[in-house]
Amino acid sequence: MSFIRNILNSRSHENGNFFLQLKDIIGFKPKTKSIYLTAFTHRSMNIKDDQGNPINYERLEFVGDAILGSVIAAYLFEKVPHGDEGYLTKMRSKVVSREHLNKLGEELRLIDFVESKIPKSNFGDNIHGNLFEALVGAIYLDKGYSFCEKFVYKRVINPHVDIESLEGKVISYKSLLIEWCQKEKNTFNYEIYEDTGNDELKHFSVKLIINDKVVSKARATSKKKAEEKASKRAFFAFQNQISKLH
Q: Are strands 47-48 and 54-55 parallel, antiparallel or unpaired?
A: antiparallel
Identified catalytic residue from 61, 133, 142, 149: 133
User: Is 65 annotated in the active site?
Assistant: yes
Phi/psi for 41 (5° steps) reads -105, 120
Phi/psi for 97 (5° steps) reads -60, 155
pLDDT level of residue 14 (50, 70, 90 thresholds): low
**CATH architecture entry for 2-167:** Orthogonal Bundle (1.10)
Q: How many angstroms separate the CA atoms of 127 and 148, rounded?
A: 21
Could you read off the pLDDT of 86-129 as tens digits, one per residue?
Answer: 889 988 988 998 889 999 999 999 999 999 999 988 888 899 99
CA-to-CA dists, residue 1 to 12, 33, 49, 238, angstroms: 20, 13, 8, 61
| Domain segments of the chain as ranges | 2-167, 173-245
- Beta-carbon-side half-sphere exposure of residue 215 (alpha carbons within 13 Å): 24
User: Is 162 annotated in the active site?
Assistant: no
**How far from each other are the two terminal CA atoms of the chain, in whole angstroms?**
57
Could you read off the pLDDT of 51-90 as tens digits, one per residue?
Answer: 999 999 999 999 999 999 999 999 999 999 988 998 899 8
Cβ-in-10-Å burial (0-12, 13-18, 19+) of 10 comes to middle
Q: Helix or strand or coil: residue 120?
A: helix
Bridge partners (DSSP) listed for residue 217: 207
Q: Helix or strand or coil: residue 129?
A: helix
Please compute the mean of the pLDDT values over residues 224-242 and round it to a whole number: 86
- Determine if residue 85 is left, alpha or beta; phi over 0 gives left, psi from -120 to 50 gives alpha, anything else beta: alpha
Identified catalytic residue from 65, 149, 227, 228: 65
Name the average pLDDT for the chain: 87
What pLDDT does residue 65 have? 97
The CATH class of the 173-245 domain is alpha beta
Q: Where are the beta strands (DSSP E) in 104-239?
A: 188-194, 204-210, 213-220
Is residue 244 pLDDT above 70, yes or no?
no
pLDDT level of residue 217 (50, 70, 90 thresholds): very high
Query: Which of 93, 81, 95 lies closest to 157, judged by CA?
Result: 95
Q: Which residue has the higher pLDDT, 241 or 111?
A: 111
pLDDT level of residue 12 (50, 70, 90 thresholds): very low
